[in-house]
Amino acid sequence: MSIPSIDALFFEAGLILLSVAMFWYAMVLKELISVLRKPSVWILPVIGVFLLLSASIVHFYIHGQLMPLINVDPSIYRDLFEFKTLSMTSVPYRQMLQLRLIEFVFILAGALLSVIAGLLYYRWSRE
């Protein structure tokens, strides 16, 4: 496994910092919801934290394990040029695309869980 590039490391550090901030948000939301005596939706951002950390692990794997294989594979340039279907691409590139989709879904789901918890708190605080 090689060390990912600097931009990948910055992205992973950003995801980790976002996870820390989201965890603090969940703890503050826990206290606020306990005052309102409503159901515990603060767990949603905590689940989002785990999804963001999972996305960071997937991103690290992509850049540390699959990207070096793509640079060695000469067919990747032809595949990128003729990009029509996933079945025409090389195996490392196809795996990378699939893992990037998983990474995107993890980040999106984490964000949506956090927004849902915030909207529920907003609605309950207006009652």
Question: Which sequence spans correspond to the domains of the chain?
Answer: 6-125
Report how far residue 118's alpha carbon sits from residue 5's, in angstroms, rounded to the nearest whole number: 35
Residue 25 has pLDDT above 90, yes or no: yes
pLDDT at 16 (0 to 100) = 93
pTM of the model: 0.78
Contact between 107 and 52 under an 8 Å Cβ cutoff? The reply is yes
pLDDT at 82 exceeding the cut of 60? no
Burial class (CB in 10 A: 0-12, 13-18, 19+), 67: middle
Between CA 86 and CA 97 the distance in angstroms is: 9
**pLDDT surpassing 80 at residue 117:** yes
**Which range in 32-36, 58-62, 86-90 is most confidently predicted, on average pLDDT?**
32-36
Q: Give the angle 52-119-106 at the CA atoms, nearest 5°.
A: 20
d(CA 85, CA 73): 18
Structure tokens at 95: 């795996």
